[in-house]
A = this chain, B = another copy of it.
Amino acid sequence: MNWQPIRQGEVTLQQQIIQWITDHIERGDWVAGTKLPTQRQLAMQFGVNRSTVQQALEELKAAGILGAKVGSGIYVTDNSWHSLITQTQPNWQTYIDTSLHKPNYHTIQLINEYEQRDDVIRLGTGELAPSLLPTADIEASLKELSLQPKALGYSSPQGNDRLRAAICEYVEKRGIDVQSQNICIVSGALQALQLIAVGLLEQGSIVFQEQTSYLNSIHPFQSVGMQMMAIHRDEQLAQTLAQRKRKRQAVFYAVPTLNNPTGGVWTSLEKRQLYEACKASRIPIIEDDVYHELLFEAATPPIKSMDDSGQVLYIGSVSKTLSPGLRIGWLIGPTTVIERLADIKMQTDYGSSAISQEIVFHWLQSGKYEKHIESLRQKLQQRADFVETILQEKFDDVADWSKPKGGFYIWLKFHEPIVDKELFTKLLYRQVLINPGYIYDPQDSHHIRLSYAYATHEELQSGLEILYECVVEA
Spell out A's residues near B (CB within 8 Å). 1, 24, 27-31, 34, 86, 88-96, 98-101, 103-104, 109, 112-113, 115-116, 127-128, 130-131, 133, 135, 138-139, 142-143, 145-157, 181-182, 187-188, 190-191, 194, 197-203, 218-220, 223-224, 249, 279-280, 282-284, 307-311, 319, 323-327, 334-337, 340, 343-344, 346-356, 359
Cα distance, A355 to B303, chains bound together (Å): 33
Q: Once the chains bind, are B349 and A96 in contact (CB under 8 Å)?
A: no
A57 to chain B, nearest CB (A): 18
Q: Once the chains bind, are A324 and B153 in contact (CB under 8 Å)?
A: yes
Give the residues in chain B near A89, CB-CB below 8 Å. 282, 309-311
Q: Once the chains bind, are B143 and A127 in contact (CB under 8 Å)?
A: no
Q: Once the chains bind, are A116 and B350 in contact (CB under 8 Å)?
A: no
Give the residues in chain B near A201, CB-CB below 8 Å. 95, 99-100
Q: What DSSP secondary structure best describes chain A's contact surface? A: loop
Q: Once the chains bind, are B343 and A103 in contact (CB under 8 Å)?
A: yes
Q: Once the chains bind, are A194 and B99 in contact (CB under 8 Å)?
A: no
Q: Which of B191, B199, B311 interacts with A101 by CB under 8 Å?
A: B199
Q: Once the chains bind, are B143 and A325 in contact (CB under 8 Å)?
A: no
Q: Once the chains bind, are B135 and A139 in contact (CB under 8 Å)?
A: no
Given A142-B142, A153-B133, does the pair A31, B336 have CB atoms closer than 8 Å? Answer: yes
Given A336-B31, A353-B352, does the pair A347, B202 have CB atoms closer than 8 Å? Answer: no
Cα distance, A290 to B448, chains bound together (Å): 45
Give the residues in chain B near A249, CB-CB below 8 Å. 94-95, 98
Cα distance, A130 to B94, chains bound together (Å): 45
A287 to chain B, nearest CB (A): 14
A76 to chain B, nearest CB (A): 9
A90-B282, A95-B249, A133-B149 are known; give 15 further A-B pairs, CB within 8 A: A86-B310, A89-B309, A92-B310, A93-B336, A95-B202, A95-B284, A96-B336, A100-B197, A103-B344, A133-B153, A138-B152, A187-B352, A327-B352, A353-B355, A355-B356
Give the residues in chain B near A283, CB-CB below 8 Å. 90
Give the residues in chain B near A324, CB-CB below 8 Å. 152-154, 350
Given A95-B284, A139-B146, does the pair A355, B336 have CB atoms closer than 8 Å? Answer: no
Q: Which of B24, B147, B198, B343 interacts with A135 by CB under 8 Å?
A: B147
A24 to chain B, nearest CB (A): 7
A162 to chain B, nearest CB (A): 13
> Would you mind naming 17 contact pairs between A and B with Cβ atoms under 8 Å apart?
A28-B309, A29-B334, A30-B335, A31-B334, A31-B336, A90-B284, A90-B310, A95-B201, A98-B202, A99-B201, A116-B156, A130-B149, A131-B149, A135-B152, A152-B324, A194-B348, A325-B353
Q: Once the chains bind, are A28 and B325 in contact (CB under 8 Å)?
A: no
Cα distance, A198 to B96, chains bound together (Å): 9
Given A139-B146, A152-B326, A354-B323, does the pair A200, B95 have CB atoms closer than 8 Å? Answer: yes
Give the residues in chain B near A337, CB-CB below 8 Å. 92, 95-96
A297 to chain B, nearest CB (A): 27
Name A132's closest neighbour in chain B (CB-CB).
B149
